Chains A and B, each alone.
Chain A
Amino acid sequence: MKALVAVKRVIDYNVKPRLKSDGSGVDLTNVKMSINPFDEIAVEEAIRLKEAGKVSEVVLVSIGSSKSEETIRTGLAMGADRGILVNTGDPAIEPLAVAKILKSIAESEQVGIVIVGKQAIDDDCNQTGQMLSALLDWPQGTFASVVDIQSADKVLVTREIDGGLQTLELDLPAVVTTDLRLNEPRFASLPNIMKAKKKPVSKVSLADLGLPENFIEPRLIVQKTEAPEVRQAGVKVADAAELIDKLRNEAGVL
């Protein structure tokens, strides 16, 4: 069966985001961009499934500007077979639109499994996989920490839930979203980066997919983007009790 993996070009996880002073969003000029870490895990999992003989081909999709091809190449350097770039220009695309586009491709490619990252580290929505799954009427295995394809029809997914792990058996085709513990993505060596240059990446537009241009228009209006409340630096606490109180009630982390 074919595996479809969606990859998104996002701010590199090492980079501290800087906000534009006019509140219009995060400043991405000249900022290092990389493959979304959860998507990298998704690519790795698909490749491992291929190495185990469960998947015949790993197809990558990225939706965004032409620069997203870089992200596809990263996945190809890890060992994916080919890529599809859906060029939607620069503006950010919401999960609902992404899910619709992915549905179109999943159907035309007739894939047996879709693996996506659980969330993108820029918008942190955590919706795309589930939305795609609903639109396709497929079962979903979210926050997967183990993916075990049992046969052409069944996959066992162990997922991270509040307070533990849950194992589900899903009918294939299904959508799986990856969590951090699923795997450790492999190192993309230079020879593989070179091989990746030759792997095919087809470039399609919404029209090519038979989708109307307007449906990628965002449903949510982002009115402003601001920094979180800045806590007073270096608050000195007198004792353990005060520390716990502040962590609970001021910082909200306990």
Chain B
Amino acid sequence: MKALLIADHDNNHLSEQTAKALSAASQLGAVDVLIMGHDCTEVASQAACLSGVGRVLLAEHEALKHQLAEPCAEAILSIASEYQAIVSAASTTGKGVLPRIAAKLDVMQISEVIEILDEKTFKRPTYAGNAIQTVQSNDSIKVLTIRTANFATTENAPTSAEVVALDITLGQQRSVHISDKVSDSERPELQSAKVIVSGGRALGSQENFNATILPVADKLGAAVGASRAAVDSGFAPNDWQVGQTGKIVSPDLYVACGISGAIQHLAGMKDSKVIVAINNDEDAPIFQIADYRLEADLFEALPEITRLLS
């Protein structure tokens, strides 16, 4: 089986996600990696170094500079017939492009693959990860996006793969890139955040709250939450409140720091995938629903976590 892996990159560097998606694609058969972009030969060289790559296909075109879905799909479709699988990491690009391919090829896509059982059988999460489906596809081409968190990365190979420049013709573009805004300072919103670090009454003051909780949240790219007690005590603003009369959240990871675990708070976060509780009271009710418990002084534990994440 020949698989085409769509690389994820920024015209300068190949992303970590591609290396992981590659290890998934390699389970299907021989893999060619497609780099679409503009002035991105460097990326092609990086891809060529990865283990398990057959050929690196380089498609450079002005219209591909920002890897918009429509021209990318067009480019992929021009070579898709040579492959039995089209694979991408479930990155923004992958998620945007691959379904277009699937529709044009009149096949179903399998999104967010977490395990490959064989070349036509895959596991994927549904119902926000509460129900794992094992699906089999008999379509002639398998179109897959890979949840890279579930796959190991690929090491470099001793030798480089061949880089082939493709001659790409694209039609008139009906979507134009205007701007990009990199958000390194903006914290995600509570209700859509994947990770939330939350502080409770035990932080003791607004200064402590900001000095202890915020650095951890920054390191994790997390949103910041607070218990009602912390908000009522003035340690955190109202719109950080998680709970029955605050926001209801369900992130992948919820870190509750110095939060005892009032029923009203639990109502707001109990559906989090993984719950971590850091509290020095071993009887705190929050420990009953925590997946991981750290009985420690949060003024020691949190700075330590911040340090280790650096």
Asked whether any CB of A lies within 8 Å of a CB of B in the complex, the reply is yes
Chain A residues with a Cβ under 8 A of chain B: 11, 14, 16-17, 19, 25-26, 94-96, 99, 121-135, 138-143, 156, 159-171, 174, 179-181, 218-228, 231, 233-237, 239-241, 243-244, 246-247, 251-254
The segment from B28-36, B155-163, B228-236, B268-276 found at the interface with A is B268-276
Q: Are B95 and A163 closer than 8 Å at their CB atoms? A: no
Which A residue sits closest to B270, measured CB to CB?
A16
Q: Which residues of chain B have C-beta atoms less than 8 A from A224's C-beta?
A: 133-134
Q: Which residues of chain B have C-beta atoms less than 8 A from A181's C-beta?
A: 189, 192
Given contacts A180-B191, A253-B195, contact A125 B111 (CB under 8 A): yes
Partner of A165, one of B130, B180, B290, B295: B180
Partner of A240, one of B288, B291, B304: B304
Q: Are A235 and B292 closer than 8 Å at their CB atoms? A: yes
Q: Which residues of chain A have C-beta atoms less than 8 A from B109's C-beta?
A: 95-96, 125, 127, 131
| Smallest beta-carbon distance B258→chain A, Å | 15
- For the complex, is B305 an interface residue (Cβ under 8 Å from A)? yes
Q: Are B178 and A240 closer than 8 Å at their CB atoms? A: no
Chain B residues with a Cβ under 8 A of chain A: 66, 68-70, 73, 91-92, 95-104, 106-112, 121, 125-139, 149-150, 174-183, 189, 191-192, 195, 220, 248, 252-253, 271, 273-274, 276, 287-288, 290-296, 301, 304-305, 308-309
Given contacts A134-B100, A163-B182, A164-B181, contact A233 B291 (CB under 8 A): yes
Q: Which residues of chain B have C-beta atoms less than 8 A from A247's C-beta?
A: 253, 274, 276, 292
Q: List 25 A-B contacts (CB under 8 A).
A: A16-B130, A26-B131, A96-B102, A121-B127, A122-B127, A126-B95, A127-B109, A134-B100, A143-B95, A143-B96, A160-B92, A162-B92, A165-B180, A167-B180, A169-B175, A174-B175, A219-B107, A221-B137, A234-B293, A235-B292, A237-B292, A239-B301, A240-B294, A240-B301, A247-B253
Interface centre among A130, A138, A159, A162 (most CB of B within 10 A): A130
Q: Are B99 and A134 closer than 8 Å at their CB atoms? A: yes
Q: Are A166 and B66 closer than 8 Å at their CB atoms? A: yes
Q: Are B181 and A223 closer than 8 Å at their CB atoms? A: no
| Smallest beta-carbon distance B40→chain A, Å | 17
Q: Are A96 and B305 closer than 8 Å at their CB atoms? A: no
Question: A174–B68 Cα gap in the complex (Å)?
Answer: 14
Q: Which residues of chain A have C-beta atoms less than 8 A from B309's C-beta?
A: 244
Q: Known contacts A11-B127, A142-B69, A236-B295; can you find 11 more A-B pairs with CB under 8 A?
A: A94-B108, A121-B128, A128-B99, A140-B96, A162-B91, A168-B68, A219-B107, A239-B301, A240-B305, A241-B304, A254-B220
Question: A141–B59 Cα gap in the complex (Å)?
Answer: 23
| Smallest beta-carbon distance A100→chain B, Å | 9
Question: A240–B73 Cα gap in the complex (Å)?
Answer: 45
Q: Are A253 and B274 closer than 8 Å at their CB atoms? A: yes
Which A residue sits closest to B278, measured CB to CB?
A243
Partner of A140, one of B69, B274, B276, B291: B69
Q: Which residues of chain B have C-beta atoms less than 8 A from A17's C-beta?
A: 127, 130-131
Question: A17–B271 Cα gap in the complex (Å)?
Answer: 11
Given contacts A219-B138, A233-B291, contact A139 B131 (CB under 8 A): no
Given contacts A220-B137, A226-B132, A243-B276, contact A237 B294 (CB under 8 A): yes
Q: Are B175 and A171 closer than 8 Å at their CB atoms? A: yes
| Smallest beta-carbon distance A82→chain B, Å | 27
Question: A159–B26 Cα gap in the complex (Å)?
Answer: 31
Given contacts A165-B181, A240-B304, A252-B149, contact A143 B92 (CB under 8 A): yes
Question: A30–B310 Cα gap in the complex (Å)?
Answer: 49
| Smallest beta-carbon distance A175→chain B, Å | 10
| Smallest beta-carbon distance B93→chain A, Å | 8
Given contacts A139-B174, A166-B66, A222-B133, contact A127 B99 (CB under 8 A): yes
Question: A99–B291 Cα gap in the complex (Å)?
Answer: 40
Given contacts A16-B271, A181-B189, contact A170 B112 (CB under 8 A): no
Q: Are B292 and A246 closer than 8 Å at their CB atoms? A: yes
Q: Are B111 and A235 closer than 8 Å at their CB atoms? A: no
Q: Which residues of chain B have C-beta atoms less than 8 A from A168's C-beta?
A: 68, 175-178
Q: Are B108 and A95 closer than 8 Å at their CB atoms? A: yes
| Smallest beta-carbon distance B111→chain A, Å | 5
